[in-house]
């Protein structure tokens, strides 16, 4: 076998390619360029490192008679790297006695790396054999195979039933043995466990159930033991209760001398408590995606003791006690520092109590091929960096203020001018070309002072009323999008104007705050279904619009947002922790960005301004809402780094929007 290894500095690679775009055509074939498209610079650098590694494995490198175009690296249906050699390169390989090239690609934000091995077989990657992250040669995330971090998170979210179908299809149709899937899950869990430094010298205790989730935990215990780590398994049942592959892994663990305590053993719970006092890590492999309802009374003390101990908890697939579909926990659920979710991420990890229970979510595909995953229909998605980055509007180098979108913001009244200011600032920070603000005469001075880059048009009165229509109509005539609501007030005479704005104009629009309250009060002004309309209610506003209580909305946020979008024929942004963006066609997107610091007055107005900016720049309503929601939360995350979870203001959130976008573009 002949190895080849290459490392590339991502920033330097990106800088050279941006300065001289023609370089990309020298490095990559047309097929590679078409596949790489808008992928991140880290991915492109990793692909180039792969070409360099292959050339080194061939023994030539560049300058040895081969060019970069003699090596083509694309992806197979499972997303794994596929190496194709030119006839010339193939002859070089044959001369070295090799006809197989195994390749692994990996990257961080700073470095991209690749390892190639020239051997014998077919010209394609053998998935997993040289994977990073299973202890072979490093601790970076792998571009194909195991995925770490939100940047590499799959955007498709699944229910428990969908995941069962995918597993069954992989086993029955694709021919993947269930024991292989469990072993891959175990490798991922063991790799994640070893990221905790104390595990290397301390004790890892595994709480294992009777089913497949427990089997994953048992197999992970064996993998850790093979690596020389101290482990102890506590099995919630009798030995004969273990089923299928879980029973096999229980036997294998015991055969290698693994320590197993059964729930019914004398003094078992006291041993559990003692083990927790000495534990470096607790692996929660009790219940998986099939769990719903309340935890059995016989199990609750065991899980409560794990939650109460000082050691961090690593959950397998989903924290025990958490509903995989809704993110609800009826009483007790494990509180994990890390959750290794398997196959595809589960909806419940990102909504309801899921984010509080799951900690950092790490995805392992467990070798499920893309052909199997693609056969399922998905309607719930995670707003991932890669997806949002693909939506962002391009800024033409020759553009000007007239080509970057013209927006009209309608709002502001006596005592509530700040809402219009915040929305206006956010629109400007998100790149709108021209902003006009129609506000009440009583708020004109404050709005003028707060948003000096905008043109402000006052209408008589302390708040906008029916008399404001001539001013509004004139401004809308040349606009690309409008926003109504921040600081508007609920003057009854404005309701017909709101209806007129929505019915007579074809402009993309976003409604917030008092515009939503007027819609709730005056049902007759509803415009009918409009796919270029975005509604942004918080739970209280949604409850008023739906005629129910806020608690009912919060209990089933995903369902409430999806139903509202389908019924109203508009994009609905249900604000709150893990904001949901729902489309009229039934799709829903869950936002993972943001933190508790955003729970302060005015941040909703900032979101409205951001949506207005992206609508004005030509994004469809759904894309505009997704971009704004993600970056709004990301701006809060930027501020969290310096302020913590409280103490920053809505105006600072607006100010952090460009930094959030820049950070996203650099990922």
The DSSP secondary structure of 242-306, one letter per residue, reads --HHHHHHHHHHHHTT--EEETTSTTHHHHHHHHHHHEEEEEEES--TT--SPPPTTTHHHHHHH
Task: Quote the pLDDT of residue 128.
Answer: 29
Tell me which H or E stretch contains 589.
strand 588-590
The whole-angstrom separation of Cα 495 and Cα 524 is 10
Yes or no: say if 215 and 244 are a contact pair by the CB < 8 Å rule: yes
Assign 79 a pLDDT band (cuts: 50, 70, 90): low
Residue pointed to by tokens 């109590």: 353
β-bridge partners, 255: none
210 is catalytic: no
Task: Quote the pLDDT of residue 129.
Answer: 29
Task: Quote the pLDDT of residue 34.
Answer: 84
pLDDT of 230 higher than 60: yes
The whole-angstrom separation of Cα 541 and Cα 641 is 31
In Å, how far are 263, 272, 275 from 267, measured between CA atoms? 9, 9, 12
The whole-angstrom separation of Cα 414 and Cα 482 is 21
Task: Quote the pLDDT of residue 656.
Answer: 98
Counting DSSP H helices and E strands in the chain, the numbers are 25, 22
pLDDT of 124 higher than 70: no
**Torsions phi, psi for 11 (to 5 deg):** -60, -40
pLDDT digits (tens, 9 = 90+) for 297-353: 999 999 999 999 999 999 999 999 999 999 999 889 999 999 999 999 999 999 999
DSSP 396: -
Q: How many CB atoms lie within 10 A of CB 542?
A: 26
The whole-angstrom separation of Cα 581 and Cα 632 is 13
The whole-angstrom separation of Cα 357 and Cα 327 is 9
Token pair for 492: 């009854």
Name the packing angle between helices 178-193 and 244-255 (round to 10°).
50
The whole-angstrom separation of Cα 616 and Cα 373 is 36
Q: What is the pTM of this model?
A: 0.78
Q: Is the dihedral of CA 595, 600, 604, 609 positive or negative?
A: negative
> For 182-200, what is the mean pLDDT?
95
pLDDT digits (tens, 9 = 90+) for 259-298: 999 999 999 999 999 999 999 999 999 999 999 999 999 9
Yes or no: say if 502 and 527 are a contact pair by the CB < 8 Å rule: yes
- Please state, rounded to an integer, the average pLDDT across all residues of the chain: 90
The whole-angstrom separation of Cα 254 and Cα 664 is 48
Residue pointed to by tokens 């001075």: 445
pLDDT digits (tens, 9 = 90+) for 460-494: 999 999 999 999 999 999 999 999 999 999 999 99
Tell me which H or E stretch contains 117.
strand 111-119
Tally the C-alpha atoms within 13 A of residue 488's C-alpha that lie toward its C-beta. Answer: 29
Q: How far apart are the first and last CA of the chain?
A: 35
Residue 99 or 378, more confident: 378
pLDDT of 62 higher than 60: no
**Backbone region of residue 65 per phi and psi (left: phi > 0; alpha: psi in -120 to 50; beta: other values):** left
The whole-angstrom separation of Cα 444 and Cα 457 is 8
Structure-derived torsion over alpha carbons of residues 267, 268, 273, 274, reported in degrees to the nearest 10: 70
Token pair for 546: 């739906």
The 3-state secondary structure of 68-114 reads HHHEEEEECCCCCEEEEECHHHHHHHHHCCCCEEEEEEEECCCEEEE
Residue pointed to by tokens 């050691």: 311
In Å, how far are 147, 162, 166, 176, 463 from 159, measured between CA atoms? 20, 5, 11, 21, 47
Residue 562 or 243, more confident: 562
pLDDT digits (tens, 9 = 90+) for 137-190: 222 222 322 323 566 689 999 999 999 999 999 999 999 999 999 999 999 999
The whole-angstrom separation of Cα 377 and Cα 271 is 46
Instruction: Give me the catalytic one of 56, 404, 538, 632.
Output: 56
Instruction: Give me the catalytic one of 19, 44, 51, 107.
Output: 107
575 is catalytic: no
Residue pointed to by tokens 């939506």: 391
Yes or no: say if 68 and 62 are a contact pair by the CB < 8 Å rule: yes
């Amino acid at each position: 076998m002949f190895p080849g290894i290459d490392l590339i500095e991502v920033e330097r690679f990106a800088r050279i390619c941006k300065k001289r775009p023609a370089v990309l055509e020298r490095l990559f074939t047309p097929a590679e360029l078409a596949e790489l498209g808008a992928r991140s610079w880290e991915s492109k650098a990793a692909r180039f490192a792969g070409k360099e590694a292959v050339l080194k494995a061939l023994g030539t490198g560049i300058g040895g008679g081969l060019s970069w175009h003699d090596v083509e690296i694309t992806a197979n249906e499972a997303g794994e790297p596929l190496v194709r050699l030119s006839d010339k390169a193939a002859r070089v390989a044959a001369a070295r006695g090799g006809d197989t090239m195994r390749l692994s690609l990996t990257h961080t934000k700073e470095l991209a790396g690749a390892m190639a091995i020239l051997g014998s077989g077919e010209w394609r990657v053998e998935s997993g054999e040289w994977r990073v992250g299973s202890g072979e040669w490093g601790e970076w995330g792998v571009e194909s195979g195991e995925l770490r971090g939100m940047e590499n998170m799959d955007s498709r979210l699944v229910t428990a039933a969908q995941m069962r179908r995918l597993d069954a299809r992989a086993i029955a149709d694709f021919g993947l043995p269930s024991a292989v899937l469990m072993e891959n899950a175990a490798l991922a869990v063991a790799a994640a466990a070893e990221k905790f430094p104390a595990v290397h010298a301390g004790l890892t205790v595994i709480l294992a159930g009777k089913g497949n989730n427990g089997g994953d935990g048992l197999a992970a215990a064996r993998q850790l033991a093979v690596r020389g780590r101290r482990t102890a398994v506590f099995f919630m049942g009798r030995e004969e209760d273990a089923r299928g592959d879980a029973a096999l892994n229980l036997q294998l663990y015991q055969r290698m001398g693994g320590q197993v305590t059964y729930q019914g053993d004398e003094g078992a719970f006291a041993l559990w408590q003692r083990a927790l006092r000495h534990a470096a890590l607790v692996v929660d492999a009790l219940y998986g995606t099939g769990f719903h309802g309340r935890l059995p009374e016989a199990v609750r003390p065991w899980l409560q003791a794990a939650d109460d101990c000082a050691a961090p908890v690593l959950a397998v697939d989903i924290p025990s006690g958490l509903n995989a579909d809704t993110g609800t926990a009826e009483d007790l659920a494990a509180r994990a520092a890390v959750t290794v979710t398997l196959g595809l991420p589960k909806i419940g990890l990102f909504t309801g109590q899921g984010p509080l229970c799951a900690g950092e979510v790490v995805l392992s595909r467990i070798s499920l091929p893309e052909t199997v995953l693609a056969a399922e229909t998905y309607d719930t998605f995670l707003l991932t960096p890669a997806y949002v980055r693909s939506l962002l509007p391009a800024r033409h180098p020759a553009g000007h203020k007239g080509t970057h979108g013209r927006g009209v913001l309608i709002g502001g009244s006596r005592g509530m001018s700040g809402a219009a200011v915040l929305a206006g600032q956010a629109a400007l920070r998100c790149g709108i070309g021209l902003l006009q603000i129609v506000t009440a005469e009583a708020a004109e001075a404050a709005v003028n002072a707060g948003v000096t880059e905008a043109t402000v048009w006052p209408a008589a009165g302390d708040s906008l009323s029916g008399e404001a229509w001539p001013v509004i109509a004139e401004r809308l005539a040349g606009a690309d999008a409008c926003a109504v609501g921040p600081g508007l007030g609920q003057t009854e005479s404005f309701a017909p104007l709101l209806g007129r704005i929505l019915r007579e104009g074809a402009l993309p629009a976003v409604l917030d705050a008092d515009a939503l309250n007027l819609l709730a009060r005056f049902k007759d002004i509803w415009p009918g279904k409009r796919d270029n309309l975005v509604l942004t209610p918080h739970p209280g506003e949604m409850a008023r619009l739906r005629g129910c209580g806020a608690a009912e909305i919060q209990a089933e946020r995903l369902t409430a947002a999806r139903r509202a979008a389908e019924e109203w024929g508009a994009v609905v942004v249900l604000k709150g922790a893990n904001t949901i963006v729902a489309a009229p066609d039934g799709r829903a997107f869950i936002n993972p960005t943001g933190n508790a610091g955003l729970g302060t007055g005015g941040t909703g107005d900032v979101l409205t301004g951001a949506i207005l900016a992206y609508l004005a720049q030509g994004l469809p309503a759904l894309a505009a809402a997704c971009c704004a929601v993600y970056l709004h939360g990301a701006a809060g995350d930027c501020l969290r780094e310096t302020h913590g979870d409280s103490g920053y203001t809505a105006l600072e959130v607006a100010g952090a929007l460009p930094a959030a976008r820049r950070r996203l573009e650099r990922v």
